Amino acid sequence: MNIRLNGEPTEVAEGCTLADLVAAQGLVGKRIAIERNGEIVPRSLHAQCLCIANDNIEIVHAIGGG
């Protein structure tokens, strides 16, 4: 199934969750935010939020600095 991840066409397996995407990107345990089709998805819902064909998903990294 095709989605758009951070602006790039990406193919993912049927039944892929946002948590699966985070793991596939090597971002487990990192400070991130996920936006799905223009709406922020709370971290507590990542494991149950299924990707749907043509979803537009943005994963944003929190970067500290001063």
Tell me the average pLDDT across 16-30: 96
Q: Given the DSSP bridges, would you call strands 32-36 and 56-61 parallel, antiparallel or unpaired?
A: antiparallel
Residue 66 lies in a domain: no
Structural domain including 22 reads 2-61
Q: Which CATH number is 51's domain given? A: 3.10.20.30
Assign 48 to helix, strand or coil.
coil
Residue 16 lies in a domain: yes
Please count the structural domains in the chain.
1
Residue 11 lies in a domain: yes
pLDDT digits (tens, 9 = 90+) for 27-45: 999 999 999 999 999 999 9
pTM tops 0.85 = yes
Residue 25 lies in a domain: yes
Residue 34 lies in a domain: yes
DSSP 25: T
